[in-house]
Amino acid sequence: MTHTVHPYAHRLGIIRDWKSRWFGVKAKYKENLKGDVLIYGYLKKRLKGLFVNSD
């Protein structure tokens, strides 16, 4: 049995770069990370049982 891999994954770092970038001031990294964790936790609670994938 084989698994199908998205062709974009094979080209990362060779002919393409990541699609997403994280822009932020390094001095606020800790603050931004805390906010991201809080939002993730809130959404995880609110969307529990609604068949939403968090990958």
Q: What single string gives the DSSP state of each residue in 37-52? A: HHHHHHHHHHTTTS--
- Asked if the model's pLDDT at residue 20 lies above 80, the reply is no
| Res 4: pLDDT | 77
Is residue 26 very low, low, confident or very high in pLDDT (cuts 50, 70, 90)?
confident
- In the DSSP assignment, the letter for residue 28 is G
More confident residue, 14 or 4: 4
- Asked if the model's pLDDT at residue 23 lies above 80, the reply is no
Is residue 55 very low, low, confident or very high in pLDDT (cuts 50, 70, 90)?
low
More confident residue, 31 or 18: 31
- In the DSSP assignment, the letter for residue 29 is H
Q: 3-class DSSP state for residue 34? A: helix
Separation of alpha carbons 35 and 43, rounded Å: 12
